[in-house]
Amino acid sequence: MADDLAVTEDEAAAVAKTPYRVTLADMLAKIEREEYIRPIYMQHMTIAILSMRNGFAVVGHSAPADPKNYDQELGKKFAKEDAIRKLWALEGYALRERMHEGRKDQSG
């Protein structure tokens, strides 16, 4: 997977004080399919659609400022990273909800 996402994951793991965290491996394991699109009218843009096992989809995109700098493989990599960053926020929210519900169950 992307080097910078792995570095972020390693840095987060190094300072984690509880087991409650969303890991890159957890998110990657939830991806069922990946699809990449290059719009006809904007050939220097890549759109990544990551379909999760539960049917949810996350969309990421990438495009260089100068179309002459476009590289198809990097476009896919950066678009997927963008989608995973969006998924990370959603997974963090879902984990926080589970933690909150667990505390309610313990106090009631």
Ordered per-residue pLDDT tens for the chain, 108 residues: 457 787 677 776 676 677 788 889 989 999 999 999 999 999 999 999 999 999 999 999 999 999 999 999 999 999 999 999 999 999 999 999 999 988 776 665
Answer yes or no: are the C-beta atoms of 49 and 34 closer than 8 Å. Answer: yes
pLDDT of residue 73: 96
pLDDT of residue 21: 85
Enclosing domain of residue 92:
3-107
Angstrom distance (rounded) from CA 81 to CA 30? 15
Say how many CA atoms lie within 13 Å of 96 toward its Cβ: 6
Q: Which residue pairs, CB below 8 angstroms and at least 24 apart, start in 91-96?
A: 91/22, 91/26, 91/27, 92/22, 95/20, 95/21, 95/22
Our count of domains for the chain comes to: 1
